[in-house]
């Protein structure tokens, strides 16, 4: 799991990209508190072949990535 809550753009995208480059996970959960960052990361990982699902958790979001 990657927690990018509280990070300002472009750090959520940079953090997720580094995790994917380092570990090439088949599944990954990412916690967000910024809808704009969620949208940017979703576009990025979709381009890498991940399927995405978003779960709203209170004021936060959880993005679930699967290959």
- The model's pLDDT over 5-52, given as tens digits with 9 standing for 90+, comes to 999 989 999 999 999 999 999 999 999 999 999 999 999 999 999 999
pLDDT of residue 11: 97
- pLDDT for res 44: 97
Q: What is the pTM of this model?
A: 0.94
Closest CA to 54 of 46, 65, 45, 43: 65
Supply the pLDDT for residue 14: 98
In the chain, where the domains are located: 2-66
pLDDT for 25:
97
Q: Which CATH class is domain 2-66?
A: alpha beta
Task: Calculate mean pLDDT across residues 54-64.
Answer: 95
């Amino acid at each position: 799991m990657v927690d990018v809550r509280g990070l300002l753009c472009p750090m959520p995208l940079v953090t997720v990209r580094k995790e994917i480059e380092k570990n090439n996970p088949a599944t990954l959960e990412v916690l967000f508190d910024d809808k704009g960052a969620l949208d940017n990361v979703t576009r990025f990982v979709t381009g890498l072949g991940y399927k995405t699902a978003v779960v709203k958790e209170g004021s936060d979001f959880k993005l679930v990535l699967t290959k």
